Amino acid sequence: MKTRLFKEQGPGAGLIGRLLRLRFWIAEALHLGEQQTILVVAALIGLLGALAAHAFRVASEFIHWALTGQHTGHVESFARLAWWQCLLVPAAGGLCAGVILSLRSKWRSPKAGDYMEAIVLGDGRVSFRSSLIQSASALFSISSGASIGREGPLVQLSAMLASLFGLGKNTPAVRLRLYVACGAAAGIASVYNAPIAGALFVSEIILQSIAMETFGPLVLASMTATLTSRHLTGNNPLYSVALPQFSEIGWSELGAYAALGLIAGVAAPMFLRILRLTRTGFQKTRIPLPLRLALGGALVGALAILHPEVGGNGYSVIVSILRGNWMVQTLLFILLFKVAATAISFGSGAVGGVFTPTLFVGVSLGSVFALGLQALWPTFAAYPAAYGLVGMGALLSATTQAPLMAIILAFELSLNYDIILPLMAACVLAYYTAKTFSIRGVYASATESTANLSYERGLASGHVAQLMKPNPPHVTLVSPFSEIVRIFVAQRFNSLYVLDSRKRFCGAVSMHDVKEFLHAPDLSETIIASDLVRNDFPTIRPDASFAQALESFSHHTGERLPVVSNDEHHQLLGSISKADLMLALVNIRQRRSDPPPQPAA
Amino acid sequence: MEARDEPAYLSPDVFVPALQATDKWEAIHEILGHFHGHPHVKNLENWEADVAQREKLCPTVLRPGIALPHARTRAVSQLAWALAVSPSGIPFDPDPSAPRARLIILVGTPPSRVKPYLEFVSNLTRWFRSGTPALDQKLEQNPELATVLSELRGAEHPALSQAI
């Protein structure tokens, strides 16, 4: 009987071998590494964010129907409801929102409750329970007609999902923060159908940096979110306005737009001060939270009896104002009532954003300004809608202290390029004018919080251990070639760390060395890791500074470095990636370039 | 130095037709003894130590009857290898009931040359599996090797390749 000394290769071995080689060739040719992984995750987060935004929108419409019996928007609903219903519906919604919100104090979480805090100061962990409670509370406030925007809870939900997604991947804090930022960008992009503004909102306001290490993933997340959102709800600009070419608007009016910018720059600190004073006033009443929100709802309802336009976030009214045919007196009243309603909703503690109400106030301000000009000089300001759009951008620029984002958002909301020049002039002037009042931007309190600085302080001192990802893929010296191949196929790393029987780091097997032999059954048991390990593979200590890590990476072509213990045991503790190090350095740089906090306006 | 082309794999640096050793450590020592003065070998003792260390980590039994003691070592400047036949067989496998190795292939390669090393081992294994004209020639030159291979493969020389 003949003895077979060697295994035959399977019938598909050649094909499988070629496919394996193709897979590794593609990976090497495209340099698919950590940074590319971040981009892919960012795109997935964008998708998740858009789906969350859509789900919130549907839920909000359902609750609105349940409370009012109407399938219309808030303004139309308030116009159709009896006066007592106008009082009762927002009061009941506020009560429900307050009851839900009071659960937050019972379920305290060490994680950041707010996505901005998680990105700017925290470790990227956004509290799941707190986010759900806030979103549920916001659902009732918004659906019952509170003068507050949906963008706040939507962005919070999207950021929370991004945090959960990242946590599931055992992600280092510095990268988790970026993922949460991607979630926030996706939220904004899907709410406003504005992909560039979504990325810029996070870059300019929260990260305060447009470094490509962070901006690239933000752009991808925004883009995916917008594409998904457009697929679900249609591809129309949020505020479609028909404007003539700028040459027809006239260069002579550029001065008028600049004046509008100055007015918006003065109005912004007043608007923010009113919001903060109202919140302080409500807090001083010491009314329990559910009753406070119910009272806030009832007061907004009372204003809506007189002017239903103040209800809700004001989207339909903005559209109507931009289409024109409004009397200046009516607009002025609505402007004042809207500011009051937003201050009441915000002040009573309703969860939501002031972004859309700011757009409302801005568009009203711009339109009132245009109508005023028309009254003085009938040939002037022939297109009040253009002033409305510019006013919207200018007030947003001043309140958020983010002129670039405001310019892009106002452009993306209308998709009208002819407005871009007056918009730029007004936004920049509004920004600088507001700054002279030592304004604290609408998001300043979140980004200047000192409640959770522990991670941020640690990052500033900058040690490798903070960025270390534990338990990297590894084999032992006696692991067979077949196991090495299996891990290389399953993972996308270029180096596989090798440990001895005492878990001491011995070196690494390079994918480059073995890629041509991935389907060589002859080697599967003959060769072990010890035969392949490169003992001169660089390592880094957990207490090494970021500067030392950067220096080590400058001499190493790989994307990861093994972190080994300081003692003589040289044990493998984890690995640090170049992408995470770069993100940390970007964070440190932007923190150091921050101006000291300004006193409150 | 570039990896050797295929015919070169059929020409060991050293051929030991009849090993006297009775255990694997003696066998390794005896085979390496034939490398005295070889231009690619810088330090025989270190090579032996490295091969022994590798052997302790994991036995190098290639297939029943064949052992492949090998190591990446700084003791050689280029890949060097030996083919040895043990008429009585040597227990390379720790399992006492396992067949003894009658064919021993000892390999040393510089640490930096991982790819040529893998290519060599892969080709060597394939060489024993599928015959070539060069193999036939090699077997004609070394009747001892031909006999051992025939026995190990259960095939009659010179049609080894057709038997598989």
Domains of chain A: 34-237 (1.10.3080.10), 246-447 (1.10.3080.10), 460-587 (3.10.580.10)
Q: Can you tell me the ipTM of this complex?
A: 0.82
> At CA A437, angle to CA A329 and CA A155, rounded to 5?
75
Please answer yes or no on whether A5 and B152 come within 8 Å at the CB atom. Answer: yes
Phi, psi of B12 (to 5 degrees): -65, 155
B35 touches chain A (CB under 8 A): no
**A6, A514, A523 ranked by CB distance to B63: nearest:** A6
- Name the least confident of A156-165, A418-427, A530-539, A553-562: A553-562
Q: What's the pLDDT score for residue A357? A: 86
Nearest CA to A98 out of A326, A349, A423, A402 is that of A349
> DSSP class of residue B157?
T
Average pLDDT, chain B: 78
Taking contacts as CB-CB distances below 8 angstroms, the residues of chain B near A523 are 118, 121-122, 125
> pLDDT-derived band of residue A450, with 50, 70 and 90 as boundaries?
very low
CB within 8 Å of A486: residues ≥ 6 apart: none
d(CA B113, CA B136): 29
Total residues belonging to chain A: 601
State the Cα torsion A249-A252-A253-A258 to the nearest 10°.
140
Q: Is position B88 within any domain?
A: yes
Cβ atoms of A183 and A158 closer than 8 Å: yes
| Residue A66 burial (CB count, 10 A) | 10
**A3, A478, A520 ranked by CB distance to B122: nearest:** A520
Percent of chain A residues past pLDDT 90, beyond the cut: 16
Phi, psi of B83 (to 5 degrees): -120, 125
d(CA A147, CA A311): 5
Cβ atoms of A196 and A233 closer than 8 Å: no
Is the model's pLDDT at A454 over the cut of 70?
Answer: no
Is the model's pLDDT at A16 over the cut of 80?
Answer: no
Half-sphere exposure of A240 (CA within 13 A, CB side): 3
Q: Which of residues 73-92 of B touch A (CB under 8 A)?
A: none
Please answer yes or no on whether A2 and B155 come within 8 Å at the CB atom. Answer: yes
CB within 8 Å of A236: residues ≥ 6 apart: A193
Please answer yes or no on whether A6 and B57 come within 8 Å at the CB atom. Answer: no
Residues A223-246 have a mean pLDDT of 75
Q: What are the angstrom distances between the C-alpha of B119 and each of A206, B46, B137?
A: 54, 24, 22
Taking contacts as CB-CB distances below 8 angstroms, the residues of chain B near A530 are 54, 57-58
Average pLDDT, chain A: 80
Is the model's pLDDT at A6 over the cut of 70?
Answer: no
Q: For the whole model, what pTM was predicted?
A: 0.65
Is the model's pLDDT at A402 over the cut of 80?
Answer: yes
CATH number, domain containing residue B132: 3.40.930.10
Amino acid type, B141: Q
CB within 8 Å of A285: residues ≥ 6 apart: A292
Question: CA of B141 to nearest chain A CA: how many angstroms apart?
Answer: 23
Output the six-digit token pair for A375: 């009254």
- Find the closest chain B residue to A476 by CA distance: B57
Amino acid type, A188: I
Q: What's the pLDDT score for residue A596? A: 42
Please answer yes or no on whether A522 and B126 come within 8 Å at the CB atom. Answer: yes
- Find the closest chain A residue to B63 by CA distance: A5
Question: Please, where are the H alpha helices in A69-172?
Answer: 74-80, 83-106, 115-120, 128-143, 151-167
Q: Is position B113 within any domain?
A: yes
Is the model's pLDDT at A10 over the cut of 70?
Answer: no
Is the model's pLDDT at B158 over the cut of 50?
Answer: no
Q: What's the pLDDT score for residue A176? A: 84
Output the six-digit token pair for A380: 């002037």
Q: What are the angstrom distances between the C-alpha of A515 and each of A221, A559, B40, B70?
A: 33, 18, 28, 21
Question: CA of B62 to nearest chain A CA: how many angstroms apart?
Answer: 6
B68 touches chain A (CB under 8 A): yes
B120 touches chain A (CB under 8 A): no
Residues A350-369 have a mean pLDDT of 88
Q: What's the pLDDT score for residue A249? A: 58
d(CA A244, CA A253): 14
Residues A6-13 have a mean pLDDT of 39
Question: CA of A21 to nearest chain B CA: how many angstroms apart?
Answer: 15
Q: What's the pLDDT score for residue A192? A: 83
Percent of chain A residues past pLDDT 70, beyond the cut: 82
Q: What is the pLDDT of residues B133-149, one digit of tens each?
A: 555 666 667 667 777 66
> pLDDT-derived band of residue A174, with 50, 70 and 90 as boundaries?
confident
Best-predicted range by mean pLDDT among A308-312, B136-140, B158-162? A308-312
Nearest CA to B103 out of B1, B2, B16 is that of B16
Q: What's the pLDDT score for residue B7? A: 44
> pLDDT-derived band of residue B69, with 50, 70 and 90 as boundaries?
very high
Q: Is position B80 within any domain?
A: yes
Q: Is position B76 within any domain?
A: yes
d(CA A22, CA A17): 9
Is the model's pLDDT at A498 over the cut of 90?
Answer: yes
Domain count, chain B: 1
**B64, B72, B125 ranked by CB distance to A531: nearest:** B72
Q: Where are the beta strands (DSSP E) in A332-446?
A: none
String of b and e for A90-126 (b: at least 16 CB within 10 Å)? bbbbbbbbbbbbeebeeeeeebbbbbbbbbbbbbbbb
B113 touches chain A (CB under 8 A): no
Q: Is position B145 within any domain?
A: yes
Taking contacts as CB-CB distances below 8 angstroms, the residues of chain A near B65 are 5
Is the model's pLDDT at A598 over the cut of 70?
Answer: no
Interface A:B, Cβ pairs < 8 A? 71
Output the six-digit token pair for A509: 């097997």
Taking contacts as CB-CB distances below 8 angstroms, the residues of chain B near A478 are 57-58
> pLDDT-derived band of residue A171, with 50, 70 and 90 as boundaries?
confident
d(CA A165, CA A410): 31
In whole angstroms, what separates CA B42 from the centre of its chain? 20
Is the model's pLDDT at A301 over the cut of 80?
Answer: yes
Query: If interface means Cβ-Cβ distance under 8 Å, which residues of chain A face chain B?
Result: 1-6, 477-478, 510, 513-514, 516-517, 520, 522-523, 526-528, 530-532, 534-535
Question: CA of A528 to nearest chain B CA: how many angstroms apart?
Answer: 8
- Name the least confident of A99-103, A283-287, B74-78, B155-159: B155-159
Percent of chain B residues past pLDDT 90, beyond the cut: 24
Do the bridges between strand B61-63 and strand B66-67 make them parallel or antiparallel, or are there none, so unpaired?
A: antiparallel
Instruction: Supply the range of the domain harboring residue B115.
Output: 6-163
Q: Is position B1 within any domain?
A: no
Is the model's pLDDT at A245 over the cut of 70?
Answer: no
Q: What is the pLDDT of residues A126-153, one digit of tens each?
A: 778 888 888 889 888 888 888 888 888 8
Is the model's pLDDT at A190 over the cut of 90?
Answer: no
Is the model's pLDDT at A242 over the cut of 80?
Answer: no
Question: CA of A126 to nearest chain B CA: how many angstroms apart?
Answer: 47
